[in-house]
Amino acid sequence: MDTNVFRSDRLRQLYGYWRSRAAGRLPARAQIDPKDIPQLLPYLFMIDVEHDPRRFRFRLIGTQICTWAGRDVTGVYLDDPGYGPRGAIISSQYAEVVDRGVPYYAEQPAARPERDYIFYERLVLPLAADGRTIDILLCGVDVLAPTPELRAGRYRRFWDDKPTP
């Protein structure tokens, strides 16, 4: 993925860190050391991937994300009605990351309609304990300034179809 697509330096740093942990295969959660990226932790969250049935659960959420979102959804599943109406859209994006096994970048409004004046850019990075079967999604988020394009619903999305290094 061309890192110039990221508006945020934080997401650029996260992507570089993730790529540095891949050694010809998807990195494992055990290869991600929070001590290596302390400046990014408030902007990160992790999603547990359950396969049968496929579900996505918030494993942990950075403090800045909780502030922006106005809540902490640690332990909540995306298909939980309490998460909000955009959970199905986000779940389908995560499912595609799991199916394709490659990073995904998207711009979008906040997950809750009452906060849709806040726009985010989000990077979703697959992790796999065995190097193949994705079990966690490492995600970074940063807020975007509201532009006419974002307000009109024109969001950019990119897939990283390059193999891991």
CATH number, domain 3-159: 3.30.450.20
Predicted pLDDT of residue 108: 77
Q: Dump pLDDT digits (tens) for 34-67.
A: 999 999 999 999 999 999 999 999 999 999 999 8
Predicted pLDDT of residue 117: 63
Which residues of the chain, if any, have pLDDT below 50?
Answer: 163-165
Distance separating alpha carbons of residues 146 and 155, to the nearest angstrom: 11
Collapsed DSSP state (helix, strand, coil) of residue 66: helix
Q: Which residue blocks in the chain are alpha helix, DSSP H?
A: 9-21, 63-69, 87-100, 148-151
**10-13 contacts, C-beta under 8 A, 24 or more apart:** 10/39, 10/40, 10/43, 10/140, 10/142, 11/105, 11/121, 11/123, 11/140, 11/142, 13/37, 13/39, 13/40
